[in-house]
Structure 1
Amino acid sequence: MKFIRALIVCLLVLIAAQSWAQSSAELKRKREQLNRELQQLNDELRETQKNKKTTLKELNNLKAQISLREDKINNLNAEIRLLGNQINQNTNTVHTLQSQLDQLKKEYAAMIVFAYHNQSAYNKLMFIFASKDFNQAYKRLKYLQQFGNYRERQAASIQGTQHELNNKISELDRTKKEQYNLLEDQEKEKETLGKQKNDQLQVISNLSKQQGEINKQIRDGQRQMAQIDRQIRITIRREIEEARRQEEARLAAQRAAEAKAAAERAKAAGTAAPVASNRPAPKSTSSNSELLNATPEAAKLSNDFLGNRGRLPWPVANGVITQEFGMNYIEGIKTDNPGIDIRTGANAAVRAIFSGEVTSINNISGTYLVVIRHGEYFTAYANLKSVSVSKGAKVDIKQTLGTVATDAATGETQVHFELYKGQTAVNPKIWLAPQ
């Protein structure tokens, strides 16, 4: 029973340790990702601050950093709580192992005392020869042998338990040290967060002194966003109309084939051929989704694209979202973002998030917009300074489309990315893989 209880304790500890290791690894991975994003934003903020004139982009950068730093502090809190639980578990395990070790030593000491009182060969022989019969003598001989073997096993068990206890104590010390380091990191992040919030207030104060220039920046951004949105919708409508034209041509060809077959049947039967109707062929009543998925290839591409929701690669290898999908408020002015803005490094390659066909390439205020069709889905990549694909080209997943442009005035480098299902804009973030 003691062995079974010890085995159950070991299994529970093993299961808890495995679960803790998975959670700890995930939190560490997220902390490292947040550190990379914060470092990237720090580098870009330094470049932005070289421009003596305060800009909205500097404010957006600070807001993004504050948000990421708050996420990191929350992540650190989760790690610290997890380590606290692990410390409690390890402490309980150490106490359990210490109790087991004390019990084993107590039992072993009793065996040593017994063996001491019966250590002479004469006493052992007398114990055997005092048996009533041969069967009892054999059992007493086996008992003495088993007693010797049990002493050896107890000694080995004491050594093993002592070794495990030492390992657990070392692990407990390492966990406490790691928790201490995380607490120090957390305090530094809180201090930095406070400074950045003060910086944010200063930037807002500076911006309020140049409200006219800020409003102009916002209006310019809105105009460019409207141009991008209009061009994307024109491209999608053109694709839908082309799909409708092809569908109507297919239906017309089908009707002509049916009329020809009817005429041939009438001729073979010796009757008059049916008179063809002069009425125009009816227009296709298929929905936009049915039109865009009219071919087996398009339908398969749509299904594959949908099947990868939440796992699609980002349009840049490394980046931080600075403006989310939907309604955003910049200095009290409401803006509707049909996509997401991703800040990245200078000259970063912009890549297709899925295989498809390039349907349009347009110049928008000196930068390029690339639209790719994936069955009934469309992805749009804006603010490219150069393009390495052509209209009508087939592209593969992660294939480079061009390089992202950098704002000469602010030094900011970011790509604008949109995703549509038919003519409806959807939040791209929920389709992309977590970083």
Structure 2
Amino acid sequence: MKFVKIVLLLVLTVGFFSARAQSSAELKRRRIELTNELESLKRELQETQNNKKSTFKQLNILKAQISLREEKINTVNSEIRLLSSQINENTNTVHTLQEQLDQLKKEYAAMIVFAYHNQSAYNKLMFVFAAKDFNQAYKRLKYLQQFGNYRERQAQSIQGTQKVLHVKINQLDRTKNEKSNLLQEQQKEKETLGKERNSQVAVAEDLSKQEGALKKQQRALLAQRKKVDQQFASALRREIAEARRKAEAEARAEAQRLAAIAAEKARAENKSAAEIAIAAKPKPIVRKTDSEVLSSTPEAAKLSNDFLGNKGRLPWPVATGQIVQGFGVYYTEGIRNDNQGIDIRTPANSPVRAVFDGEVSNVVDISGTYLVIIRHGKYFTGYLNLRSVSVSSGQKINTRQTIGTAATDPATGETMVHFEVRNVDAVVNPKTWLAPQ
């Protein structure tokens, strides 16, 4: 039974640490991804530092670096907490196995002493023949055999427990070394984060000397976003009006068809002219909400449901990118900005792609770059700051289909794509709809 308990303990421990290992592997994978992204930002920052005109881009890169560095530190902290928990579990397991090993050795030693005192074959035969009947003699013989087998199993249990104990001690040492390395990396990342924050302050101070230019840029950004809102509103009104026109035309035709059937039935039943007239009058059309109108056809309803069903799993509008400005209100140099989407920094000339199946609702030039709006049933996605486009209004679009190329700001050298997700009722945070990077 003790051997069975040891095996069960080993199986449960392996299962526990297997689940832990999956979580640990995910944390390591994300830490490596963050390290690669930070290296990419570091190279890009070094390039911009050679160009004195790129201070705005430097500030954005530093913001992105700080954000990624903080995420990496949090990831390392999670790894450290996980390793600490593993160390505690391994330490408890080692103590338990050591106690079991000591007990097994103690019991085995007692058996050896007993066997030594009863090692004579004569004593064993006397023990068997001293039985009062045949049944008792048989039981005593089986007892001697079982005692020998138990002694062998006890020896195997000791060897198995020693092996498990050795494995756990080695695993404990490796985990402690890994935790020590992570603590060193954590300290290094904190020091680097402090330097990056100092650099951000320095660049911000430099930019404050160009306050007029910065405010001019912010006002231009606000004007651009106002145009985007107007285009979205225009597209929504147009799509709703067209969908409502089609839905109401179909509803009127259906009402007239049903009224004609009712009138014919009334004539067949020889009803009065007044009753026939009442039956021939189409029933009034029930006015639907904007959301219901946009999902009134089976195709639109399916597209809306599929889009909603993929929330949190949609592909990014660019293959490679980092969010440099999130959704919601923020302030720059005292100017209030309300970002209706997210701004994604991406390499120059990056293809911009649709995040889901749909139909191009509008393509419009805004301040020298293009905005593409795609309808997905009652949902809409917007892609702004495209240097060129490869789609047109009314065109059917597939998921990940290229719709254009990201534009690069000649003043800052920065390439960004503005991405929005809206439904007929509200503006939503696009990040919650995209798949985790």
The structural deviation recorded for 1:377 is 0.3
AA in 1 matched with 2:55 = T
AA in 2 matched with 1:55 = T
1:64-83 alignment runs, 5 A limit: 64-83=64-83
1:218 aligns with 2:226: no
AA in 1 matched with 2:293 = L
Range moving further from structure 2, 405-414 or 259-268: 259-268
Of residues 308, 316, 326, the one that matches 1:324 is 326
Partner of 1:27: 27
Partner of 2:161: 161
Of residues 338, 341, 351, the one that matches 2:340 is 338
- Asked if 1 retains the 8 angstrom alpha-carbon contact of 2:94 and 2:169, the reply is yes
Gaps of 5+ in 1: none
Range moving further from structure 2, 126-135 or 179-188: 126-135
AA in 2 matched with 1:221 = L
Question: 1:208-237 CA deviation, whole Å, 9 max, x = no partner?
Answer: 111111112212222222222222221121
- Asked if 1 retains the 8 angstrom alpha-carbon contact of 2:56 and 2:412, the reply is no
Distance 2:336 2:320 in 1: 28
Identity %: 64
1:342 match: secondary structure: strand
Question: 1:259-289 CA deviation, whole Å, 9 max, x = no partner?
Answer: 655676687759769889xxxx989732111
AA in 1 matched with 2:180 = Y
Gaps of 5+ in 2: none
1:394 aligns with 2:410: no
1:408 match: secondary structure: coil
AA in 2 matched with 1:353 = V
Question: 1:131-156 CA deviation, whole Å, 9 max, x = no partner?
Answer: 33322222221122111111111111
Q: 1:53 to 1:346 in 2, by over 3 A?
A: closer
What TM-score do you get using the length of structure 1 for normalisation? 0.91
1:57 aligns with 2:57: yes
- Asked if 2 retains the 8 angstrom alpha-carbon contact of 1:63 and 1:200, the reply is yes
1:251-266 alignment runs, 5 A limit: 251-257=251-257
Q: 1:45 to 1:90 in 2, by over 3 A?
A: same
1:205-284 alignment runs, 5 A limit: 205-257=205-257
Question: 1:164-199 CA deviation, whole Å, 9 max, x = no partner?
Answer: 011101111110111011111101101100100110
Partner of 2:173: 173
Distance 1:190 1:135 in 2: 79
Partner of 2:187: 187
Distance 2:125 2:277 in 1: 124
2:53 match: secondary structure: coil
AA in 2 matched with 1:341 = D
- Asked if 2 retains the 8 angstrom alpha-carbon contact of 1:37 and 1:319, the reply is no
Partner of 2:415: 413
Distance 1:189 1:15 in 2: 33
Question: 1:293-341 CA deviation, whole Å, 9 max, x = no partner?
Answer: 1111111111121122222222122221111111111122111111101
Partner of 1:432: 434
1:53 match: secondary structure: helix
Q: 1:275 to 1:51 in 2, by over 3 A?
A: farther
1:199 aligns with 2:209: no
- Asked if 2 retains the 8 angstrom alpha-carbon contact of 1:108 and 1:151, the reply is yes
Q: 1:342 to 1:123 in 2, by over 3 A?
A: same
Range moving further from structure 2, 258-267 or 286-295: 258-267
2:52 match: secondary structure: coil
Partner of 1:353: 355
Range moving further from structure 2, 102-111 or 159-168: 102-111
Distance 2:264 2:122 in 1: 121
What TM-score do you get using the length of structure 2 for normalisation? 0.90
Range moving further from structure 2, 26-35 or 72-81: 26-35
Q: 1:134 to 1:238 in 2, by over 3 A?
A: same
| Residue correspondences, number | 432
Question: 1:374-420 CA deviation, whole Å, 9 max, x = no partner?
Answer: 11000011112232333222222222222222223322122110011
TM-align CA RMSD: 2.7
Distance 2:286 2:122 in 1: 111
1:369 aligns with 2:384: no
Distance 2:23 2:271 in 1: 82
Distance 1:137 1:248 in 2: 101
Range moving further from structure 2, 223-232 or 83-92: 223-232
AA in 1 matched with 2:65 = Q
Partner of 2:311: 309
Range moving further from structure 2, 57-66 or 95-104: 57-66
Partner of 2:16: 16
Q: 1:132 to 1:222 in 2, by over 3 A?
A: same
Q: 1:41 to 1:226 in 2, by over 3 A?
A: farther
